[in-house]
């Protein structure tokens, strides 16, 4: 099993990704709001003020992305999940799309609920 973590820059694409996951047998995921370090630093350090101007972030302005977490049983399903994400956001090697990484899952409880049995 693997944990797939996907940071998606364009939050308007999250629903499409989750719909595609569900339609393709990946029904379980958690989505959280997240904020990149560059935006946080731009708000706290004057040396990064120009970065703030370039990104649209300013004091009191929140620039967010979303992070998707999902545990996936097989390498085939993991590859499918990555392909589905790139289908929606584009090539992840391009700027302002997102970031994906995976980690091995050594132990899990509560995974075999009715919604996640097919993963």
Please report, for the chain, the start and end positions of each structural domain, with discontinuous segments joined by +.
Answer: 2-104
Q: CA 67, 98, 61 angle in degrees (round to 5)?
A: 70
Euclidean distance between the first and final Cα of the chain, in Å?
10
Print pLDDT tens along the chain (119 aa): 999 999 999 999 999 999 999 999 998 999 999 988 776 776 666 665 555 455 444 444 456 899 999 999 999 999 999 999 999 999 999 988 999 999 999 998 887 765 555 55
Residue 2's SS3 state is strand
Q: Is the dihedral of CA 39, 44, 45, 49 positive or negative?
A: positive
What would you measure as the largest C-alpha separation in the chain, in angstroms? 51
Q: Which CATH number fits domain 2-104: 3.30.1360.120, 3.30.70.920, 3.30.70.120, 3.40.720.10?
A: 3.30.70.120
What pLDDT is stored for residue 108 in this prediction? 87
């Amino acid at each position: 099993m693997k944990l797939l973590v996907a940071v998606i820059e364009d939050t308007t694409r999250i629903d499409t990704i989750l719909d595609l996951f569900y339609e393709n047998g990946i029904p379980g995921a958690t989505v959280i709001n997240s904020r990149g370090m560059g935006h946080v630093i731009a708000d706290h350090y004057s040396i990064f003020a120009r970065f703030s101007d370039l990104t649209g972030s300013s004091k009191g302005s929140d620039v967010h992305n979303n992070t998707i977490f999902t545990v996936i049983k097989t390498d085939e399903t993991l590859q499918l999940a990555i392909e589905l994400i790139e289908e929606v956001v584009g090539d992840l090697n391009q700027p302002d799309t997102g970031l994906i990484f995976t980690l091995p899952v050594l132990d899990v409880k509560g995974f075999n609920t009715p919604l996640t049995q097919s993963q």
